[in-house]
Chains A and B, each alone.
Chain A
Amino acid sequence: MRFRRLAVLALAVVTAAAAQQFTVPVEYHTLDNGLKVVLSPDPTAPTVVVAVYYNIGFRIEPKDRTGFAHLFEHMMFQGSKNLGKMEFIKLVQSNGGILNGSTRFDFTNYFQVVPAHKLETILWAEADRMKGLNITQENLTNQQGVVKNEVKVNVLNQPYGGFPWLDMPQYANENWYNAHNFYGDLEHLDAASLKDVQQFFDTYYAPNNAALAIVGDFRPAEALALVKKHFGGIPKAAVPPLPDLREPKQTAEKRFNKKDTLAYRPALAFAYHMPERNTPEYYAMGLIDQILLQGEDSRLTQAIVKKKGYASGVGGGINLLGNMFNYNGPMLWTVSLIHDNGVKADTILAAADAAIEELRTRPVDRATLDRALVKLRSDLYGEYEGFFGFGTADLLASFALFDNDPSRINTLENEFRTVTPELILRTAQEYLRPTNRTILTIEPKSGS
C-alpha cells in the first residue's frame, strides 16, 4: 500500500513538473538551397517577427579589416536590386513595423516586427537583399562616417566606453579571432572598399549560411509556401569552413590596467573562460551565474553591494552581447562594477573571492539550487518574449545555425533541472579557478 501511494505521489510530482514546462512551437525545414527555416506560431498579438541570421560574426572578419563585419551590416540597408537606399527602412516603417540589425560574435542578424498581414512584404524584402546588393561608393563612404560616429558615441567619447564588453575579450583571449577589436580601428574602417563589400557578401551571405526564423501570428503552411516562393530560387554558394576559434587552456591569472581619461571613478572587471557550449558544465555555469551574479539575492551582490557597500551594483553574465545561448565558440563569464577611489581593486576581489570560493569548497544546498532554477526559468521565459517575440526568433535561429536543431529550445529547462550540487561544485572548481581568470582595472582621470 505504502509503495503504491508513493508511486502515485511521485507520478503527481512528475506531472506537475511537466506542466510547469512551457513549450515553444517549433517547425523546422531546410530548403533545397540550404536555407534553414524555423516557424513558431504564436497568436498572442497580430504581429509577426521575421529574423534572418547569417552565420558570420565579428570574430571571423578579415585581419586587416577589423570592424568589417559590423560595417557590412550597415551596408545591408544601403540598397539591393529592388530597394534603393532608405527604401528598405521606409518599406518596413510604412507598413507599421520596426526593424534593426546587429553584429555579434558568431552571427549577423536582421529583423523586423510587423503587422501579421505584412509577412509576405517583409519576406520579399529580405529575399531581395539576400539575392544581392547594389551599393555605390557614395553609400559606402556615408556609412563609414555613420559607423565611425557609432564608435565615437559608444566608445571614444564615452566614459567606460567599451568597458567591459569590448575590452574584456581582447584581454582575456589569446586567439586573434576572439581577441581583436570587434568595433574596428578607425583606419581599418576607412580602408574598406566596395570590392571588400562585394567579396564579403559573396563569401558569407548565401542561403546555405543562413537561418530564417518567423515567430508570431501566421499559419505555418502558408508561411512556408511564401518562404519557398521568395527564397527558394536563391542559389547556394561555397561557404568557407569556420576558422579554428579554440582558446588555449589558461594556466595563470592575467591582470591588466586601462587608463580612461573620461572617467572619474575606477572600475573593475574579471572574467573566466566558460565551459564548452552544451556540455553539462555549461548548464551548471548557467546556474552558477544565477547563484553568484544575477538578481539582488545573488551572492556577489550581497557581498560587494549590500554588506560592504563597494558599489551600487554588480553587473555581467555569460556573453555580454547576448545571452548564454546565442553564440558558438569560446565565451567568457564576466563580472564588472564601478567603485570609489578610496577602495582598492584587491579589497573588492577579496570579497568576491570569499563568495566564489565557498562555491568551490562545498556543494550548494538544495534550496539555493532550486532558487537558481526558478530564476533561470523565469529569465528564459522573459527571453522567449523579449522584444515582441524576437527573443524566441533569436534562440530558434541560433540553434538552427549552430546546432541544426532549433527544437533544442524545449530541452533547455530540463538540461538545467538535471544539474546536481556535485556538478556545480566540480564546475566551480575547474572553471572559477583564479588561474582561469583575467582581471581588468580601469584607472580614471587622476585627481578626480
Chain B
Amino acid sequence: MKTIIIALCLAVSLAFAQKEAPPAGSAPKDFTLPKKHIVTFKNGLEAVFIPYGRVPKVNISVVIRVGNINERPGQTGLADLMGDLMKEGTTTRTAEQIAAEAASMGGSLNVGIGVDQSTIGGEVLSEFGPRMAALAADVVRNPLFPESELARLKNNTLREITVAKSSPQQLTFEKFRSLLYGDHPYGTVFPTEEAVKGYTVADVRKFYKENVGAARTRIYVAGVFDQAAMEKALRDAFESWPKGPAVHTNVPKPKAKKQFHLIDRPGAAQSTIYLGLPTLNNFDPDYVKMVVTNSLLGGSFGSRITSNIREQKGYTYSPNSQLSTRYRDGYWVQTADVTSSVTGASLKEITYEIERLRSEAPSDAEVEAIRNYIAGVFVLQNSSRGGIVGQLSNLKLHGLPDSYLANYVKNVHATTPADVQAMAKRYVRPEEMTLVITGDKASVEKQIEEFAKGVPIEKK
C-alpha cells in the first residue's frame, strides 16, 4: 500500500512539475488617491484643484448639472442643441475665434452634453491653463446662440440621427431605453424630425436660463498647473456669476417586467441583443458588491458569460455586461452581437450563466481574482487627468462622501462569494428582464420562441 501511495504522489508532483507557476511579483506599492484642494467662491461655486502627473498639460472641466434630464416632453435633444450652439460664439468671440484660440493653446473647447450633467472645457498645455479658464468661462457665461447657425446645426442633428439609426446597436439601445423608461427623459434617446425642426433660438435661450448657473456648477482643474494663477483666473471668470437655478432632479421609475421586442433587419449577419433590468445605483450600500458581481458574471474579459459565448462557443466577439447608472437610477444589461443562427443558443447560455450564479456561490478563488481585478482597475481610473475628473464629478453627482473613494478598495475586498450570489439573486432577475433583439426576423423568430413565450411580440 505504502509504495502505491508514494508512486501516486510522485506522479502527482511530476504532473505539477510540468507546469511552471507564475512568479508572484514583489511587495505591492501604496496607492493613494491624488490629493484635492477645494476653493469656494463668494457665489458658492466650488473649484477643485488636483495636481497630477508630470506631462505639462492641464484639464479644465466646468461641470454643470444640466442635460437631457432637464428636457420636458417634446423637448428631446434640446440640451444637445444648446450645447452645439454654445460653441458658435459668445458676446465677444466668434466661433472661429473660439476654435483658433483653443487650438493655439494646444487643445479644443469641448462641450459634452450628458443625461444628468454636462462638461465644458478641455485639455491644454499647462502654460495656457489660465487662458483656457477664461475661454471656457466666456462660452459658459456669455453664449450668443446665433440664429444664423441654427439651421445648419439642426440639419447636422437630423443627419446624425439618421446615421445612428442605421446602426443595429443604436436601434437596440433606443428601444431598450424606451421599454424601460417610457416617457421619462431617459426613455427617449433620439428626438423626432419634427421636434428638431421646430426648435428655435428662443427655446434654447429659455432652456439655458432655466438650467445653467453657478449653483449647478463645479469646476475641476487636474494636471500640471500653477495653483495661484489658475485660482485667480477662475475667480476672475466665475466669482461674479449669479447663482441661477437650483439643481433639479427627476428620478424615474423604470419597468421591471418581462418584455420583448424584435426589430427586423432583413438579412442581418448578426443579432444585436440587449437583455437587462432596472437595478441599484451608486448610492446604494450594495453597489460595490454588485460591481464585483457584474464583473464576474459578464463585465470583464475573463467573466463567465464572455468565457462561455465567446471563448467556448465562438458565437460573438465582444459580449459585455454593465451596470449603467444615472442619478438615483441604474440598470444591469448584457449586450452581445451574435451570429444570427445562434441567437437562441446565445440567449440560452446567457440565461444559464445568470441562473448558475443565482443558485450557487462562486468559489473563493474566482471571487478573489475578480476583486483584485476591480481594485487594479480602480487605480487606473484614478491615474489620468480625465479619469480623476470623472471620478470626482461622479461622486458629486451621486452625492457620495469622499470616504466612498477612500474606502472603495476595502469594500471591494470585503465582498464574499456569498455576497456575489446574494447580489445576483437580488438584482439580476431573469423573470423581470426586458429583451430587445435587432436581427433578421426570418432567421431569428423560431429560435427565440422560448423567450417570447407568454409575452406579446412587438414587430416593426
Contacts and interface: CB of A to CB of B under 8 A. Distances in A.
Contacts of A114: 376
Contact of B104 (A119, A145, A217, A371): A371
A295 interface: yes
A153 B270 contact: yes
The listed residue with most B CB atoms (<10 A of its CB), out of A89, A121, A296, A309, is A296
A93 B366 CA distance: 11
A153 B384 contact: no
Contacts of A119: 25-26
Interface in A77-125: 81-83, 85-86, 89-91, 93-99, 113-121, 124-125
A93 B22 contact: no
Interface stretch (B203-211, B234-242, B304-312): B304-312
Interface string B377-417: 10110011000000000000000000000000000000000
A119 B25 CA distance: 7
B125 A374 contact: yes
Given A124-B22, A141-B314, A94 B373 contact: yes
Interface in B63-110: 87, 95-96, 99-100, 102-109
A146 B316 contact: yes
Nearest to B105: A374
Nearest to B109: A296
A82 B165 CA distance: 47
Contact of B383 (A44, A312, A338, A384): A44
Nearest to A154: B317
Contact of B22 (A85, A125, A150, A388): A125
A117 B28 contact: yes
A95 B373 CA distance: 6
Nearest to B107: A378
A242 to B, nearest CB: 30
Contacts of B19: 81-82
A118 to B, nearest CB: 4
A93 B159 contact: no
Given A152-B270, A295-B108, A96 B55 contact: no
Contacts, number: 224
A46 B31 contact: yes
Given A96-B377, A159-B167, A385 B160 contact: no
A115 B22 CA distance: 15
A388 B123 CA distance: 16
Contacts of B163: 159-160, 263-265, 338
Contacts of B56: 20, 22, 381
A431 to B, nearest CB: 23
B103 A296 contact: yes
A191 interface: no
B311 A85 contact: yes
A83 B313 CA distance: 20
Contacts of A120: 23, 25-26
Nearest to B223: A385
B156 A96 contact: no
Given A113-B380, A264-B166, A312 B160 contact: yes
B375 A96 contact: yes
Contact of B368 (A94, A98, A388): A94
A193 interface: no
A152 B337 CA distance: 9
Nearest to A379: B106
A95 B25 contact: yes
A98 B160 CA distance: 33
B159 A265 contact: yes
A89 B301 contact: yes
A46 B314 contact: no
A407 interface: no
A42 interface: yes
A162 interface: no
Contacts of A94: 302, 368-370, 372-373
A297 to B, nearest CB: 4
A417 interface: no
A157 B268 contact: yes
B143 to A, nearest CB: 16
Given A152-B270, A157-B270, A295 B103 contact: yes
Given A46-B379, A149-B337, A374-B103, A382 B29 contact: no
Given A146-B314, A338-B163, 12 more contacts: A89-B301, A97-B373, A97-B376, A98-B380, A115-B376, A146-B316, A152-B270, A295-B99, A296-B102, A340-B159, A381-B57, A388-B384
The 9 A-B residue pairs whose C-beta atoms are closest, nearest first, are A96-B376, A145-B314, A378-B106, A94-B369, A45-B383, A296-B99, A309-B152, A46-B29, A150-B317
Interface of B: 19-31, 52-57, 87, 95-96, 99-100, 102-109, 123-125, 127, 151-152, 155-156, 159-160, 162-163, 165-168, 268-270, 300-302, 307, 310-318, 337-339, 368-370, 372-373, 375-377, 379-380, 383-384
Interface of A: 20, 22, 42, 44-47, 81-83, 85-86, 89-91, 93-99, 113-121, 124-125, 128, 141-150, 152-153, 156-160, 217, 262-265, 295-297, 301-302, 306, 309, 311-312, 338-340, 370-371, 374-375, 377-379, 381-382, 384-385, 388, 448
15 contacts: A82-B22, A94-B370, A95-B25, A125-B22, A141-B314, A142-B312, A142-B313, A152-B269, A157-B270, A159-B167, A263-B166, A297-B96, A309-B152, A312-B160, A374-B104
